[in-house]
């Protein structure tokens, strides 16, 4: 028994170490000066500096990237979950003409390679004058986030007994009043999980976000790539920016840590 447990702890630890190594390298580089990076190989910063971070926080081209990313991610999360809620309810409670096909069609959009859509998206969003706006990126990300949110929420809602709805209707609740007052609080955990996944996919996606923006709504991650190619090898700066993109994600996971496992199980992600 004891041997089995040490054995198991070892596997888990090794796996986590494997996950942390590249992140450690990124963080450690962000505290190094360019000279040190390009000079001798060192396991940790010899000449510890916060210069890279100072530059990011003072240079508007850098920090607006953050604000841009956060704005469109937040917008997308709200839109996706808001429209997915009633739809997921419909799928979990009712049968209607073409429901199964519609559900599959929604899922196919989760499967569509963004590369396929990059160019037509550029043309479409230019045509409706949403190119290089936050809302434009937020709407584009709905392509894969709405199906995902519907999928997750439908799983959670199917776990809520139908008697809850019936009792509320018998008590004289109208649909929307029941939905907002009773049903939404009941599946709060599911909404949390759905928002987490919408946040995650919108935050990490870059191909569409990059294609649909130029200056005003350019995401931080795109700023990084462009800087990397124009200003040569400013690896320390790049590493600092990369480290900062991990922070919001880490925050979000920390808040939903207790729901993650349950969300995966129920939400059938």
Partner 1 sequence: MNKLQNQKAWWLVVPVVILVAFNALIPLMTVVNYSVQETFGNNLFFWHGLGWFQEVLTSERFHASLLRQLAFTFTILLIEVPLGIAVALCMPRTGPWVSVCLVLMALPLLIPWNVVGAMWNIFALPDIGLLGNAVNSLGIDYNFTQQPVSAWVTTVVMDVWHWTSLVVLLTYAGLCSIPDAYYQAARIDGASSWAVFRFIQLPKLKRVLTIAILLRFMDSFMIYTEPFVLTGGGPGNTTTFLSIDLVKIALGQFDLGPAAAMSLIYFLVVLLVCWVFYTLMMRNEEN
User: What HEC string does 161-195 produce?
Assistant: CCHHHHHHHHCCCCHHHHHHHHHHHHCHHHHHHHH
Choice from 37, 137, 187, 191 touching partner 1 (CB under 8 A): 37
User: CB of 10: closest distance to partner 1 in angstroms?
Assistant: 8
Residue 149, Cβ density class (10 Å: 0-12 exposed, 13-18 middle, ≥19 buried): buried
Residues within window 44-73 making contact with partner 1, judged by CB under 8 A: none
Q: Which CB sits closer to partner 1, 25 or 57?
A: 25
Residues within window 165-184 making contact with partner 1, judged by CB under 8 A: none
Q: Which stretch binds partner 1 (CB under 8 A): 50-58, 139-147, 180-188?
A: 139-147
Q: Does residue 237 belong to the site contacting partner 1 (CB under 8 A)?
A: no
How far apart CA 131 and CA 135 sit, in angstroms, is 9
Pair of tokens at residue 39: 């000079």
Q: Which stretch binds partner 1 (CB under 8 A): 45-53, 54-62, 181-189, 242-250?
A: 242-250
Q: Which stretch binds partner 1 (CB under 8 A): 7-15, 50-58, 181-189?
A: 7-15
Choice from 217, 224, 237, 240 touching partner 1 (CB under 8 A): 224
Q: Please state at what angle helix 60-93 crosses helix 99-111, rounded to 10 degrees.
A: 160
Choice from 56, 75, 81, 84 touching partner 1 (CB under 8 A): 84
Q: Does residue 189 belong to the site contacting partner 1 (CB under 8 A)?
A: no
How far apart CA 222 and CA 200 sit, in angstroms, is 17
Number of residues that bind partner 1 (CB under 8 A): 100
190: alpha, beta or left? (left if phi > 0; alpha if psi -120 to 50): alpha
């Amino acid at each position: 028994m004891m041997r089995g447990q040490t054995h198991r702890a070892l596997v888990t630890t090794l796996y986590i170490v494997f996950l942390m190594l590249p992140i450690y390298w990124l963080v450690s580089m962000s505290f190094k000066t360019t000279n040190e990076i390009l000079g001798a190989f060192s396991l940790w910063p010899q000449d510890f500096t916060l210069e890279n971070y100072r530059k990011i926080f003072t240079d508007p081209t850098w920090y607006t990237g953050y604000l841009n990313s956060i704005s469109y991610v937040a917008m997308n999360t709200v839109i996706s979950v808001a429209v997915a809620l009633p739809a997921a309810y419909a799928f979990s409670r009712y049968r209607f003409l073409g429901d199964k096909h519609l559900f599959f069609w929604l899922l196919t959009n989760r499967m569509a390679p963004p590369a396929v859509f990059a160019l037509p998206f550029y043309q479409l969003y230019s045509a409706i004058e949403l190119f290089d706006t936050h809302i434009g990126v937020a709407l584009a990300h709905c392509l894969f986030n709405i199906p995902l949110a519907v999928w997750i929420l439908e799983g959670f809602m199917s776990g809520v007994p139908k008697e809850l709805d019936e009792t509320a209707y018998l008590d004289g609740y109208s649909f929307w009043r029941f939905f907002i007052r009773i049903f939404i609080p009941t599946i709060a955990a599911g909404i949390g999980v759905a928002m987490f996944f919408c946040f995650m996919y919108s935050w990490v996606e870059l191909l569409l976000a990059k294609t649909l923006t130029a200056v005003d709504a350019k995401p931080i991650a795109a700023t990084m790539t462009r800087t990397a190619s124009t200003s040569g090898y400013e690896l320390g700066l790049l590493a600092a920016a990369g480290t900062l993109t991990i922070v919001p994600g880490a925050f979000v996971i920390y808040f939903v840590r207790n729901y993650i496992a349950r969300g995966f199980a129920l939400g059938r992600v």
